[in-house]
Amino acid sequence: MRAWLLAALLLSLLLSRPCQGQPGSPEAEADRPTAPIALNGKVLFRVRGVAAYPAEQRAQAITDRIEAVAADTSVSTDTLRVTESGDRSTISAGDRVLMAILDADASLEKVDRKTLAELHRVGIAQAINVYRHERSPGVLFKATLYALGATLALAMVLFAGDRLFRRLDAAAERYVRSKMEGVQIRPLHLIQADRLSSSLSAALRVLRTMAILAIGFLYAYFVLGLYPWTRQTAQHLFAILFGPVGTMGKSIVESVPSLLFLVILVVMVRYALTLMRLFFEAIENRTFSFSGFDQDWAMPTYQIARVLVIAFALVVAYPYLPGSDSAAFKGVSVFLGVVFSLSSSSAIANVIAGYTLTYRRAYKVGDRVKIGDAFGDVVEIRLQATYLRSLKNEEIIIPNSEVLKTSVINYSSMAKKSGLILHTTVGIGYETPWRQVEAMLLESAQRTPGLLREPPPFVRQKSLGDFAIMYEINAYCDQPQASNTLYTFLHHNILDIFNEYGVQIMTPAYVADPKEPKVVPRDQQFGFLPASATRQFTEPG
């Protein structure tokens, strides 16, 4: 009793001291720590403490006294009473003091001290009655019967489950083997029946183990909850297993308004992107046009606009993402940003270069181009690279950032409008009149199928060399992909015409005039070729 009086005196003195410069302020009183008073796993109320007598220590002492009275059936709950003495209300059971309630305790609950003491007395009496009832022989006997029944049910469920999973395993193996018989006889089968059957058996074993663990947990939770001594353990197990689930469920419920906003935002962005795509597809298909806006720009512009819209949507949605304000979320975001920036610098450069090339209109799919030392037809233009097919059917992949650093020759961009000029050079001696040479070269161009008649071909005298005059025949074509074939036929016709008129084409090395011109006689122009080869070189095209 003297110890209790001393504790009560210290508590009253400490509670009467100023709290952070504001005596009796409600904020200071609310900040004091409290500890629960529990009996039989159920919290009855909370008490406060002071530095010299912490709330946990005081709560433990009160709990021990209440449990001692509850265990002593000779003490009736009718003997619980409240005694007023000065600045405290004392709750006693007969001659046993359970606890003292001070004005500071009443201020915690914001009621007067006498009302709080009476409420605590009623709550303690009810808890003691429940405590004694749950430990009565009749209740314990009934709980034991329930435990035996649950044990028997557990054994039956486990036995039935074992037989069920055995049958499922056998049925799965039979089904797999019946379906895989036709596959096994093939020489290059990809899936073997044994491996697939083993995988299904392993999946069934995992399912069986999970079912056994779930049933075992339910059994343990039910049986432990039947007895008051183990009920708190059952509740602890339940909290361990379903506590995270409950926390996630609570977080989901709290995030419903944000998730609803995100759903609406996603729907709006999706419809906006659909409208944008239809708009740019109309431009690409020439059903809608802008002056100065090339149709080849339609889809690249759509991709840029799409990225901007999605980026704007992410900025708007970021505050509404669950956990976006947590330090872990921010740390992961920063880490991913750093990794992306370090590992994708060249990729981003190629993407930017790809869009730059698109708007520069340097080339498009199907054009014949020369990029640096690479020569061929453009077969695909991607954000990262440009793909060419060479004349030897080789695939050439050029990063777009490299394309920006070198010159690009496009043989197709002007071919449809004004024609691509094919040209070849021959060296003819000074003894042949230049008018005759030019006429023969123009005739060779006229004989070549595939070359345009308008604009007409023309001849240029490039130089007056030491031994020959260099003539250049120029002819237009609108098919850049056929240039090699056209060059071949043009050379055929030049050789034939110069042979017909007995004009010698000078060789690169010259020593002296030969006795006879170096030409092929008309009767030997086809040599000993078979008739089929003769027709191949004489028929047009």
pLDDT digits (tens, 9 = 90+) for 384-407: 788 899 888 888 988 877 887 788
pLDDT at 488: 92
pLDDT tens-digit series, residues 279-326? 888 877 877 776 767 666 777 778 778 888 988 888 888 888 776 666
Give dist(CA 121, CA 116) in Å, integer. 9
Encode burial over 35-67: b for 16+ CB neighbours within 10 A, e otherwise: bebbbbeeebbbbbbbeebebeebbebbbebbb
Q: Which two tokens stand for residue 345?
A: 């610098």
d(CA 499, CA 518): 9
- DSSP labels, 180-197: HHHHHTSTT-SS-HHHHH
Q: How far apart are the first and last CA of the chain?
A: 125
pLDDT tens per residue across all 541 residues of the chain: 454 444 444 444 444 444 444 444 444 445 567 888 888 778 888 888 887 888 888 889 998 998 888 888 888 888 889 888 877 888 898 888 888 888 878 887 788 888 888 888 898 899 888 888 888 888 889 989 999 999 999 899 989 988 888 888 888 777 776 766 555 445 444 455 566 677 778 888 888 888 888 888 888 888 888 888 888 888 888 777 777 777 777 777 777 888 888 899 999 999 999 998 888 888 778 777 767 676 667 777 787 788 889 888 888 888 887 766 667 666 767 766 666 565 555 666 666 666 666 666 677 888 888 888 888 898 888 777 888 998 888 889 888 778 877 888 888 888 878 889 999 999 988 888 899 999 999 999 999 998 998 889 999 999 988 888 899 999 999 888 888 899 999 999 999 999 888 888 876 566 666 666 666 666 665 555 455 444 544 544 4
Q: What is the pLDDT of residues 113-147, one digit of tens each?
A: 888 888 888 988 998 888 888 888 888 899 899 99
User: CA-CA distance, 128 to 534, in Å (whole number)?
Assistant: 121
**DSSP secondary structure of 197-234:** HHHHHHHHHHHHHHHHHHHHHHHHHHHHHHSTTTHHHH
Q: For residues 99 and 62, is the Cβ–Cβ distance under 8 A? A: yes
At 450-461, the pLDDT tens digits run 899 888 999 999
Q: Is 128 exposed, middle or buried (0-12, 13-18, 19+ CB in 10 A)?
A: buried
Q: Which residues contact 114 (CB under 8 A, 6 or more apart)?
A: 82, 84, 89
Average pLDDT taken over every residue of the chain: 79
CA 127 – CA 43 distance, rounded (Å): 10
CA nearest neighbour of 388 among 426, 362, 423, 419 = 362
Using CA atoms, how far apart are residues 364 and 10, in angstroms rounded to an integer? Answer: 91
Of 414, 415, 405, 420, which Cα lies nearest the Cα of 373? 405
Q: How many CB atoms lie within 10 A of CB 71?
A: 12
